[in-house]
C-alpha cells in the first residue's frame, strides 16, 4: 500500500488580504511559517521519503520547512500548481464586479464549464493534479511521499478520488497547512486504487486558520 500525504501551503499575505492568488504569488506570513513548522513536527516521525511541491513560492516556502525536518530534498512538480484564476489573479475579492464574482463562483458552485476568462477549468486542474499523484506510483517500493499544493487544486483531487465530478459543488474545507492522506491499495472492503484516509486534518495546528476560497 502506498500512502501519500497532501498538505496545503501555509497562510500567505494575500490570504489575509483576501486577494486572489491562483498562480500568482505572495509570501507566507509569520503565522504561515509557524503552520509549516507545526506540520513538520507532525510528519517528521512518519518516515517521509519525498517532499514534492508545487513550484510556486508559497508552496516552496512551506516545503523547505517540512523537508528540513524530514531530512528530504525538495522536488518541484509544476502540475501541483493552483488553479489558474485568469484575469482575476491579483484582485481583491471586495473589488470584483457582479459579473466577475459570477466567474469566480462558477468554479465552486457546480457550473459544468465554469472558468474565469484566461484561466483554467476545474476539469483541467484536476487532470494535472491526478497525473502528479499517479506519478507517485513510480517511486521506489516503500516510499512515503508528501505532496504540497493549494486549496482548490487539492480539493479537486480529493473529490475526483471520491468519484465526484471535478466541477462538483465545493463542500470540502482544506485550511492552510491542513493534512490529508490518500492511499493506493487493493482492499476487499473498499474500491481498489486510490482511497481517502483523511481530509483536512488541522489537529496539529495551535491557532485558528483562515478559511478562504481563493486558494
110 is in an annotated binding site: no
80-134 confidence digits (pLDDT tens): 999 999 999 999 999 999 999 999 999 989 999 899 999 999 999 999 999 999 9
8 is in an annotated binding site: yes
18-60 confidence digits (pLDDT tens): 999 999 989 999 999 999 999 999 999 999 999 999 999 999 9
CA distance 75 to 62: 12
What cell was used for 171?
463542500
pTM exceeds cut of 0.85: yes
151 is in an annotated binding site: yes
pLDDT of residue 104: 95
76 is in an annotated binding site: no
Question: Is 70 exceeded by the pLDDT of residue 12?
Answer: yes
Contacts (Cβ under 8 Å, ≥6 apart) of 68: 40
State the angle between helix axes of 122-135 and 151-161 in degrees (0 to 180), rounded to the nearest 10.
Answer: 80
Say if strands 2-8 and 145-149 run parallel, antiparallel, or are unpaired. Answer: parallel
Question: Is 60 exceeded by the pLDDT of residue 213?
Answer: no
CA distance 31 to 193: 36
14 is in an annotated binding site: yes
Nearest one of 91, 94, 116 to 14, comparing CA atoms: 91
93 is in an annotated binding site: no
**pLDDT tier, 209 (very low <50, low <70, confident <90, very high otherwise):** low
DSSP code per residue over 117-173: TTS-BHHHHHHHHHHHHHHGGGSPTT--EEEEE-HHHHHHHHHHHTT--TTS-----
128-160 confidence digits (pLDDT tens): 999 999 999 999 999 999 999 999 999 999 999
Residues 12 and 82 sit within 8 Å (Cβ to Cβ): no
11 is in an annotated binding site: yes
Round the CA-based radius of gyration of the chain to a whole number and report it: 16
166-196 confidence digits (pLDDT tens): 999 989 999 999 999 999 998 888 889 999 9
Neighbour order of strands in the sheet with 2-8: 74-76, 50-53, 145-149, 2-8, 179-185, 193-201
Instruction: Give the active site residues.
Output: 9, 82
Amino acid at each position: 500500500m502506498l500512502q501519500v500525504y497532501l498538505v496545503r501551503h501555509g497562510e500567505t499575505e494575500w490570504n489575509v488580504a483576501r486577494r486572489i492568488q491562483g498562480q500568482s504569488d505572495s509570501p507566507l506570513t509569520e503565522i504561515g511559517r509557524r503552520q509549516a513548522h507545526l506540520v513538520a513536527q507532525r510528519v517528521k516521525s512518519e518516515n517521509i521519503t519525498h517532499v514534492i511541491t508545487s513550484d510556486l513560492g508559497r508552496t516552496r516556502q512551506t516545503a523547505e520547512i517540512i523537508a528540513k525536518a524530514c531530512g528530504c530534498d525538495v522536488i518541484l512538480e509544476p502540475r501541483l500548481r493552483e488553479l489558474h484564476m485568469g484575469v482575476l489573479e491579483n484582485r481583491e475579492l471586495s473589488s470584483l464586479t457582479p459579473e466577475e464574482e459570477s466567474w469566480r463562483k462558477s468554479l465552486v458552485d457546480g457550473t459544468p464549464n465554469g472558468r474565469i476568462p484566461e484561466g483554467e477549468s476545474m476539469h483541467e486542474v484536476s487532470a494535472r493534479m491526478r497525473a502528479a499523484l499517479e506519478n507517485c506510483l513510480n517511486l521506489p517500493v516503500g516510499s512515503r511521499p508528501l505532496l504540497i499544493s493549494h486549496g482548490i487544486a487539492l480539493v479537486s483531487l480529493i473529490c475526483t478520488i471520491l468519484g465526484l465530478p471535478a466541477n462538483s459543488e465545493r463542500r470540502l474545507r482544506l485550511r492552510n497547512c491542513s493534512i490529508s492522506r490518500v492511499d493506493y491499495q487493493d482492499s476487499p472492503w473498499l474500491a481498489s486504487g486510490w482511497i481517502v484516509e483523511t481530509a483536512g486534518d488541522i489537529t496539529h495546528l495551535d491557532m485558528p486558520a483562515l478559511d478562504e476560497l481563493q486558494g
